Structure 1
Amino acid sequence: MKISTHLVSAPLHTPFVTALRTATHADSLLVSISDGSETGWGEAPQVWKVTGESLAGAQACVEGPIAGALNGLEPDDLTEALRRVQGAAVGNFGAKAAVDVALHDLAARRRGQTLHGFLGSTVSSVRTDVTLSAGDADALVAAGRARIADGFDVLKVKVGTGDAAADFERVRRIREAIGPEPRLRLDANQGWTRRDAVTAIRAMEDAGCAIELVEQPVPAADLEGMAWITDRVSTPILADESVYGVRDLVAVIRHGAADLVNVKLAKCGGLGPARTLLELAREHGLGSIVGSMMESHVGVGAATALVAAYPTTLVNDLDAAWWLKESPVMGGIRYEGSTIQLPTGVGLGVTGLNS
């Protein structure tokens, strides 16, 4: 198998603003693995404020220890290949995810199947929410109305910008503007204190804002604080940055820190670990969604294929590639309003890099 890496920087049509950062491009390392006739694709996004992994680091990991671990292995031995990828280095989950997905994609192509079909799915589309970037109330109201007009009915609002009272007012204004039907979920990106979180969430509950869930209200390591919040509000709490792998999810479960978990390939290391996390969450009564970093149609396509085969309990958070002006690859998934249409071609449906 030949492993190649490709650095891409895809501009966004609108800046993406959260409590942690402002993004104008999706910077990723694309990985291709070829058996001489078929090529599988995967992606490692650069997200300094979440995973801390750089493109240079991911590239070094893929081309160094991971490539070395796979050297001489036959492409049909997927189970052994995935085991070697996970054992090749400590951490480096984005790099591992890129190679894990590329190996799955290659295996599906060699069998003449779509990736979602290879994973066991019979569906052809998956729904997603869409994020409203952090901003003032007027900008968020305008964005909310625009996204409803675009066909989305689940909106995610970025909060946690340092002023819980202002967060409440922004959310109240959005709900007032869009009416009662669209679902509204919040993502604080670790930006609240535990007391501010409870104050803001209770105010929204009392005001009838009908919030579906609140994602990662406090810093990732503060499981006691998140459990304290979960015990004091009626709105479900979703763990994101607190959960990378199985050990993290077990800790969340033991603390009673959240009602749901957000599984992301670049956090956990690929499709294999993601399936384990989804199964563990289900066994312990936690809800789940699958999300993505700011990444392209390759990474989001793999996450969508996962959801198609392993359904989650709520609409997923897979709008990242929707933000791109143009895909860095040819083929793959496509958006139709809030629906992601899965490809009909083999694997991820990606046929190569856009020139």
Structure 2
Amino acid sequence: MRITRVRTHRVVLPLRETFVTALRRTDVVETLIVEVETDDGVIGLGEASQVWQVTGESMDGARACIEGPLSAVVIGRDPEDLQAVLRDVRGAVVGNTSAKAAVDVALHDLLARSRGLPLFRMLGGAVAAVETDVTLSVGDPDHLAASASARVSEGFRTLKVKVAADERQALRGIMAVRDAVGPDIAVRLDANQAWTDKQAIRVIGDLEDAGAGVEFVEQPVLARDVSALERVTRAVHTPVMADEAVFGIADLVEIIHRRAVDMINVKLAKCAGIAVATTLLDLARECGLGTIVGSMMESPVGVAASASVAAAHGTTAVSDLDAAWWIRGVSAALGYEAGSVVVSARPGLGIESIEELERVG
């Protein structure tokens, strides 16, 4: 079996409602799907999500990277020689983590399909369902409270509240969510780099004093400012999580060395795919850091891959895999039931074709 062709497809999927964070707002998932095909007709799918504010990659840039240097290192190769091919993919270009992740996932999907196994089983998982949080977009307290109540009524037991730079609004929003859902629902906070360290310490301290019961605070300060992350972590009791601050292994090693956070969020688009993601999860766990697996605003391709990693390797807290829930439409390969994302039992990611994916929207 040899890889003979690599193709890319631009896909736009409408969201059920506007998604708003401190970094951006969007009404669609705009993404690049890659197909890797072998000489016997087996096709694997992967995804390069376009999130300018996190990875810095554009759709056109990812396409050029995939169709150029990444294709050059995989065409003619045997996908059974997976780890060697993936090493060459990671070494082919600098950066471009989403593009690398797309090829990495497509190769994993292809191999799982050729073996007749769901990807989560090929990775060592036994259960197709992974509990996930659901995100509440940045909004006023009344909107957040109503959204929180609606999501709990749909079966979600963990809420991820997006907040912006306004400290007072953040406090009021979190307290409105807590009042709306009561003490038994987990509430976590994601600032997406919106605060300075002093702001973060004030807000988190006020939430602690108010008894808000926040599970953790994700990326409160700028990703590049590890010293600020460290100062926040040392000043508060609530666990602090790194997201944008940890792309790859070198980032995690620095975080561990400095004990800058309590937890990390591992995302395939940041770390260049499944191979590195599993290393990050193992290293964090061995060094006493909490873990979740997260997703960008991605299609069922990216979410199914991330959910397969979470199912196989486990995490210390509920993962963040609600991205496909936001998409208007239903995927045959991926569903949400009682607060969990459920991946298909079909081979690979369970998504048969680009056409099946486009029907979701």
TM-score (norm 1): 0.97
Give the alignment partner of residue 144 of structure 1, picking from 139, 145, 148: 148
Q: Residue 16 of structure 1 aligns with which residue? A: 19
Matched, 1:300 2:303: yes
Q: Secondary structure at the match of 1:350?
A: coil
Matched, 1:127 2:131: yes
* Structure 1 segment 253-292 matched on structure 2, within 5 A: 253-292=256-295
The C-alpha deviation readout for 1:242-264, integer Å capped at 9, x for no partner, is: 00000001111122210000000
Cα pair 1:331 1:351 within 8 Å, conserved:
no
Q: Secondary structure at the match of 2:194?
A: coil
* Structure 1 segment 38-77 matched on structure 2, within 5 A: 38-77=42-81
Hey, what's the Cα distance between the residues in 2 that align with 1:331 and 1:273?
A: 28
* Structure 1 segment 1-355 matched on structure 2, within 5 A: 1=3, 2-35=5-38, 36-159=40-163, 161-326=164-329, 331-354=332-355
Structure 1 residue 336 displacement after superposition: 1.2
Structure 1 residue 337 displacement after superposition: 3.2
Q: Which runs of 4+ in 1 moved over 2 A?
A: none
Hey, what's the Cα distance between the residues in 1 that align with 2:254 and 2:66?
A: 29
Structure 1 residue 177 displacement after superposition: 1.4
Q: Secondary structure at the match of 2:353?
A: strand
Hey, what's the Cα distance between the residues in 1 that align with 2:50 and 2:329?
A: 18
Which amino acid letter does the alignment assign opposite residue 186 of structure 2? R
Which amino acid letter does the alignment assign opposite residue 46 of structure 1? Q
Which amino acid letter does the alignment assign opposite residue 61 of structure 2? G
Structure 1 residue 353 displacement after superposition: 2.0
Hey, what's the Cα distance between the residues in 1 that align with 2:211 and 2:165?
A: 23
Q: Secondary structure at the match of 1:101?
A: helix
The C-alpha deviation readout for 1:56-95, integer Å capped at 9, x for no partner, is: 0110000000001113212322122111111111100000
RMSD (Å) for aligned C-alpha atoms: 1.0
Hey, what's the Cα distance between the residues in 2 that align with 1:54 and 1:98?
A: 14
Cα pair 2:50 2:58 within 8 Å, conserved:
yes
Hey, what's the Cα distance between the residues in 2 that align with 1:184 and 1:79?
A: 38
Gaps of 5+ in 2: none
Hey, what's the Cα distance between the residues in 1 that align with 2:236 and 2:75?
A: 52
Hey, what's the Cα distance between the residues in 1 that align with 2:283 and 2:239?
A: 18
Hey, what's the Cα distance between the residues in 1 that align with 2:229 and 2:83?
A: 36
Cα pair 1:194 1:225 within 8 Å, conserved:
yes
The C-alpha deviation readout for 1:225-247, integer Å capped at 9, x for no partner, is: 11111111110000000000000
Hey, what's the Cα distance between the residues in 2 that align with 1:217 and 1:256?
A: 16
Hey, what's the Cα distance between the residues in 2 that align with 1:276 and 1:43?
A: 20
Gaps of 5+ in 1: none
Structure 1 residue 105 displacement after superposition: 0.6
Cα pair 2:158 2:188 within 8 Å, conserved:
yes
Hey, what's the Cα distance between the residues in 2 that align with 1:75 and 1:274?
A: 19
Which amino acid letter does the alignment assign opposite residue 273 of structure 1? V
Hey, what's the Cα distance between the residues in 1 that align with 2:64 and 2:206?
A: 48
Which amino acid letter does the alignment assign opposite residue 231 of structure 2? W
Hey, what's the Cα distance between the residues in 1 that align with 2:175 and 2:79?
A: 53
Structure 1 residue 176 displacement after superposition: 1.0
Structure 1 residue 331 displacement after superposition: 3.6
Q: Secondary structure at the match of 1:351?
A: coil
Which amino acid letter does the alignment assign opposite residue 57 of structure 1? G
Structure 1 residue 169 displacement after superposition: 1.3
- Number of aligned residue pairs: 352
Which amino acid letter does the alignment assign opposite residue 78 of structure 1? L
% of aligned pairs identical? 50
Cα pair 1:292 1:299 within 8 Å, conserved:
yes
Q: Secondary structure at the match of 2:352?
A: strand
The C-alpha deviation readout for 1:124-167, integer Å capped at 9, x for no partner, is: 210100000001111111111111111111000011x2211221
Hey, what's the Cα distance between the residues in 2 that align with 1:332 and 1:253?
A: 37
Which amino acid letter does the alignment assign opposite residue 17 of structure 1? V
Cα pair 2:6 2:75 within 8 Å, conserved:
no
The C-alpha deviation readout for 1:175-231, integer Å capped at 9, x for no partner, is: 111111100000000001111111111111111100000000000011111111111
Which amino acid letter does the alignment assign opposite residue 338 of structure 1? G
Hey, what's the Cα distance between the residues in 2 that align with 1:178 and 1:212?
A: 14
Structure 1 residue 321 displacement after superposition: 0.5
